[in-house]
């Protein structure tokens, strides 16, 4: 008699992304230009690499404090205060995690039970809905419209609130939309959260990659600190994606339970990665600024190229690595278009539907390959678009 291990429904319910299908298509071909991934291509600053090498001379790789090295948490608290205006106790209100991904998971898992609802202005970072599913909770995507410049419609959000709504999850600046919301919008969202007793999860991982001033940090607004979990990390600004160094700041009561869950999930963050994060805190500005400038310049090139494609419209990005063009003109679904772009012109993009159902009719393009590849990719997109003129 054969035995099959049963998986509980909430975990069985986590979907695989279409991303896999498109990547499989791309892998079968030579010379595909990758305009899809959010996996940037530059190396880490030399300052950080040197510190890592020094740590390897010692050569020990012992477990660290479960919640991140105390000196790292202190450094992050100073950074949050200096750069984001957020005052955080490094012992009680801060946790170092395996990237923002782990932080999002442990916070959502600790706060969301079966039947709970999370409001998500959408298209949105897919993990918000995957995590909600994994918790037995429901993601409630509330559409952001191109006509509004992808700013939230407060009335729509208000109408989506039910007695089961527990949280509001946001990425500011936005992945996948590339937009940066104004202070007024952030204040309106905070007001909504206070009015309906919601917890706010706000991922600020792209806050260094903006053309203008960085957006206001929601946890600094009146009445918000006690209900806001602020996520950030070293992945993007220091090209440390693979080192998985994220963190979350939040109110001490729930953070205590979240830290216990974090221990169960990871035991401790990676030791060498924490060495890199400590180095990043001291990294000379002249090694970081060129990275940020490079991606912003690429974003300009990408945006200008995309809006010049026949039939394509696009909201101007305020920062991040992404633009989110409207491709409805081509008369097919996002997934079908993404697959055809791989097959017919060798360009890898992500269908907007990877970011929720409201992404239908859009693609996400990124700046994570170099300028010449971006230009080459744009040329190929033009070649495709011109068939539909």
Interacting positions 299-338 with a second copy (CB under 8 A): none
Q: For residue 296, report the phi and psi dihedrals to the nearest 5 degrees.
A: -70, -40
Q: Would you tell me the crossing angle of helices 99-111 and 252-266 to the nearest 10 degrees? A: 120
If we measure between CA atoms, which residue out of 311, 322, 316 comes closest to residue 381? 311
- Of 62 and 389, the one with the shorter C-beta distance to a second copy is 62
- 154 binds a second copy, rule: CB under 8 A: no
Ranges within 250-289 binding a second copy (CB under 8 A) = 250-251, 253-254, 257-258, 260-261, 263-273, 276
Least gap, CB of 312 to a second copy (angstroms) = 28
163 is a contact residue toward a second copy (CB under 8 A)? no
Report CA-CA distances (Å) from 77 to 96, 173, 182, 262, 385.
Answer: 11, 21, 25, 19, 48
What part of residues 18-77 is at the interface with a second copy (CB under 8 A)?
39-44, 46, 49, 52-53, 56, 58-64
Judged by CB under 8 A, which stretch of 3-11, 138-146, 283-291, 312-320 contacts a second copy? 3-11
Q: How many Å apart are CA 216 and CA 220, to the nearest integer? A: 8
**Distance between terminal CA atoms of the chain?**
61
* Cβ proximity to a second copy, 41 vs 187, nearer residue: 41
Q: Which stretches of 164-212 are DSSP H helices?
A: 183-195
Per CB under 8 A, the list member of 226, 282, 289, 386 interacting with a second copy is 226
Which position among 21, 85, 89, 113 is part of the footprint of a second copy (CB under 8 A)?
A: 113
CB closer to a second copy, 287 vs 313: 287
Least distance in angstroms from the C-beta of 152 to a second copy: 21
CB of 329: closest distance to a second copy in angstroms? 32
Is residue 232 a contact point for a second copy (CB under 8 A)?
Answer: no
**Using CA atoms, how far apart are residues 66 and 184, in angstroms rounded to an integer?**
38
- Say which residue the tokens 């979240």 belong to: 258
Q: Report the candidate in 164, 165, 163, 185 with the shortest Cα–Cα distance to residue 120.
A: 165
Work out whether the CA dihedral 176, 157, 110, 259 comes out positive or negative. Answer: positive
Work out whether the CA dihedral 289, 292, 293, 294 comes out positive or negative: positive
Closer to a second copy at the Cβ: 56 or 154? 56
Min dist. Cβ of residue 238 to a second copy (A): 9
Q: Which of 131, 217, 230, 232 binds a second copy (CB under 8 A)?
A: 131
Binding of a second copy by 160 (CB under 8 A): no
What's the rounded Cα separation, in Å, for the pair 303 and 313? 10
Residues 83-112 that bind a second copy (CB under 8 A): 98-99, 101-102, 105, 109-112
């Amino acid at each position: 008699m054969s035995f099959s291990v049963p998986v509980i429904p909430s975990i069985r319910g986590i979907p695989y992304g279409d991303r896999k299908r498109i990547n499989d298509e791309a892998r079968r071909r030579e010379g595909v230009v990758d305009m899809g991934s959010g996996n940037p291509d530059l190396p880490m600053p030399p300052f950080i690499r040197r510190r890592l090498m020094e740590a390897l001379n010692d050569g020990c790789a012992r477990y660290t404090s479960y919640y991140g090295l105390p000196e790292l948490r202190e450094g992050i608290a100073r950074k949050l205060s200096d750069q984001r205006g957020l005052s955080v106790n490094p012992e009680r209100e801060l946790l170092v995690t395996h990237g923002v991904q782990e932080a999002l998971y442990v916070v959502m898992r600790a706060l969301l039970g079966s039947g709970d609802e999370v409001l998500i202005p959408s298209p949105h970072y897919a993990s918000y809905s995957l995590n909600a599913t994994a918790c037995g909770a429901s993601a409630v995507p509330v559409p952001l419209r191109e006509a509004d410049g992808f700013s939230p419609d407060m009335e729509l959000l208000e109408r989506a609130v039910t007695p089961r709504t527990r949280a509001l999850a946001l990425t500011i600046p936005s992945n996948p939309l590339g937009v940066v919301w104004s202070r007024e919008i952030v204040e309106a969202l905070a007001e909504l959260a206070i009015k309906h007793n919601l917890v706010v999860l706000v991922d600020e991982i792209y806050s260094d990659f903006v053309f203008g001033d960085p957006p206001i940090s929601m946890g600094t607004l009146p009445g918000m600190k006690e209900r806001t979990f602020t996520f950030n990390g070293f992945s993007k600004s220091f090209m440390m994606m693979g080192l998985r160094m994220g963190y979350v700041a939040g109110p001490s009561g729930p953070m205590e339970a979240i830290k216990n869950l974090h221990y169960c999930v990871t035991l401790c963050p990676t030791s060498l990665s924490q060495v890199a994060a400590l180095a990043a805190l001291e990294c000379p500005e002249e090694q970081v600024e060129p990275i940020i400038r490079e991606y912003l310049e690429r974003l300009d090139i990408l945006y200008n190229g995309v809006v010049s494609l026949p039939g394509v419209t696009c909201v101007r990005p305020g920062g991040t690595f992404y633009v989110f063009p409207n491709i409805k003109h081509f008369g097919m679904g996002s997934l079908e278009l993404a697959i055809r772009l791989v097959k017919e012109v060798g360009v890898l993009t992500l269908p907007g539907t990877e970011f929720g159902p409201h992404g239908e009719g859009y693609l996400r393009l990124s700046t994570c390959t170099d300028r010449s590849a971006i230009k080459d990719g744009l040329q190929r997109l033009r070649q495709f678009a011109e068939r539909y003129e």
